[in-house]
Amino acid sequence: MRRRSLLLAVPAGLLTLSACGDDKSDQDKDKVAESPSASPEPGASAKIVDGPLPAVTDGQKFGEKPTVAKGTGKPSTDLAVKTLIAGSGTTVAEGDYVRAHYLGQIWDTAKVFDNSYDRKQPLVIQLQQGGVIDGWRLGLVGKKTRSRVEMAVPPALGYGSEGRGDIKGTDTMVFVIDLEETFNGKSSAKGKEVPQDDTALPKVGTNTDGKAPSVTVPKGAAPKKLVAKYVLEGDGEEVQPTDRLLLQYKGVLWNGGKEFDSSYSRQQLAAFPLQQLIKGWQEGLAGKKVGSRVMLVVPPDKGYGDQASGEIPANSTLVFTLDILAKM
């Protein structure tokens, strides 16, 4: 079962269904995403120091599952952070979503309480106050992707004095984190351009500069059935119906081409469980590859039907461009 984050930012938009049941997978979550509060405990130090930190004794390359020694002596009451492997990628900023493999263990015992390497599935999480433990939020900002970072997180910047599960309120946690990628409101899909030869379908821009791609709707009649076409084809995993996705998107009306919703205009990525979206998205994105830009033409029966929704009139055919940035 894929573990996912507890707190995911879902910006205001028009795409979610009105009624959604509980997700049983909430019982199985990434430890680092289980932030007990929106801010550090009173009196918590946000000072960052370079040690002490236990040695990584095996699995020392980027992407390898590390083995980390037991901590010696008393850990710092400040956040200890060290870059073990310096990457040369994009600099991480607060508010970004990061994709990372990680291992977490207890300082005093070296007991591993969580790791993504065995799951073969990196974590995608937003470095936002209240959405991830403060040790990660503070310690990863300014690091570059393709870096390996080790940190020792004191209780006040982790789960506080109450602890969480097997992690006691007095435990300092040690993490080794491999930063694979970072995403923000200026991110784009980077797939291979696919010809758009059908003149009866909308044409979508292929720019990858983080700006909203153009969507040119033809003057003819809209298709009666759902259309899902690659604009840029990525090489990532195929989307499954149960996935939660990190996306950039823009939606326009077939009639007139008026934009009605866009993550680009908010400069904020969208994080959605696919099962909670309109049928056109559920059916059109399933099977598409992560890293792709997809053009969808959604007929009324796969969208909002005979009900108006915000700026969308009843019985509207909708056109979307969507960049599938990551699975969460």
Place of tokens 């598409």: 288
183 catalytic? Reply is no
H helix intervals, the chain: 134-139, 263-266, 279-285
Query: Which of helix, strand or coil describes residue 55?
Result: coil
Beta-bridged to residue 247, according to DSSP, are: 270, 324
Q: Does the annotation mark 264 as catalytic?
A: no
Catalytic residue among 304, 312, 323, 324: 304
* 50 flagged as catalytic: no
* Catalytic position from the list 62, 113, 117, 260: 260
Instruction: Out of 278, 312, 323, 324, pick the active-site residue.
Output: 278
Which residues are within 8 A (CB) of 311 and not within 5 positions of it... i.e. 6 or more apart?
Answer: 14, 258, 260, 261
Catalytic residue among 30, 96, 243, 261: 261
Asked about 260 being catalytic, the answer comes back as yes
Q: How many Cα neighbours within 13 Å face the side chain of 49?
A: 13
Q: Cβ distance 189 to 199 under 8 Å?
A: no
CA distance 308 to 274: 22
Catalytic residue among 97, 249, 264, 272: 249
| In the chain, beta strands by DSSP E | 48-49, 56-58, 67-68, 79-85, 97-106, 112-115, 123-126, 148-153, 173-183, 192-193, 203-204, 215-216, 227-233, 244-253, 259-262, 270-273, 293-298, 318-327
Which of 97, 102, 175, 320 is labelled catalytic?
A: 320
Q: Is 261 a catalytic residue?
A: yes
Any catalytic annotation for residue 102?
no
| Residues labelled as active-site residues | 249, 260-261, 278, 304, 320
